Amino acid sequence: MLPSSIPGDDGDDDEDPDDTREDLHHHHQGASSNNSSNDLCEALLFSCANNNPKPRNLHHDPSSFMGIPSNSWEWGSSIRESMVNKGLLEGDNESVEEDHYDNITNTNTLNKKINPLGVSAFRMKKMKAGRRKVREPRFCFKTLSDVDVLDDGYKWRKYGQKVVKNTQHPRSYYRCTQDNCRVKKRVERLAEDPRMVITTYEGRHVHSPSHDNLDEDSNSSQPLLNKFFW
């Protein structure tokens, strides 16, 4: 009953034997922060991050996507250096192959949920077998508001929270709640500036923001996105 060895065939049905939690009903800190008034405006002022100084495929440039000039991101001070040092922003990048990534995604979607741990391990092994580390583009934003969950039009579900080293504030991990969309987002507060948070988006949504603004886009002649709300 121990998943000591990962079975190569699909006949694996090992479950996780972990359930030794004793009591998790401590006291929780109800940090109810939901005050998105003009955060979007502020959020648009801060900066955008294309984490690579070397010329790349510009058609992936998020700044142009959002209509923000690329030079408007200027958090290239110690913060960025620190992040580079920590490996959050990798300087080296291989070619991001989206089609291959999508293919893997489909494959993963097929055999999902049967054995999460096993599937995960299997996927990892598979992608390692391809020797191609699937890295989706990450967009970092530095916001200037004390609320992290500012509503950007998408619905996020928190799936984790970790305390990273050298930081005093925990980092939260969110994920898009759409079934086909697996965009992740991580939010971290700066230690020295608690009023500032760094939101790192990972991946791109495959759907339009499901916010309740169904007012004027009912024409929707263009099924593509083109809805630059973000």
- Choose from DNA, Zn ion, none: what does 112 bind? Cβ within 5-8 Å by kind: none
Contact 122/130 with Cβ under 8 angstroms? Answer: no
Does 88 help bind DNA (rule: CB under 7 A)? yes
Distance separating alpha carbons of residues 122 and 7, to the nearest angstrom: 9
* 3-state SS record for 127-195: HHHCCCCCCCCEEEEEECCCCCCCCCCCCEEEEEEECCCCCCCCEEEEEECCCCCCCEEEEEECCCCCC
Each residue 178-197 as x (binds Zn ion by CB under 5 A) or -, in order, gives: x--x-x--------------
Q: Which is nearer to DNA, 46 or 173 (CB)?
A: 173
Contact 181, 156 (CB under 8 A): no
Task: Work out whether 116 is an interface residue with DNA (CB under 7 A).
Answer: yes
Binding site partner of 205, from Zn ion, DNA, none, Cβ cut-off 5-8 A by kind:
Zn ion
DSSP-derived letter for residue 225 is: -
Rounded least distance, CB 12 to DNA, Å: 12
By CB under 7 A, what part of segment 159-188 binds DNA? 159-162, 164-166, 171, 173, 175, 177, 184, 186
- Tell me: does residue 58 bind DNA (CB under 7 A): no
Residue 82 binds DNA (CB under 7 A): no
# of chain residues touching DNA (CB under 7 A) = 41
* Residue 225 makes contact with Zn ion by CB under 5 A: no
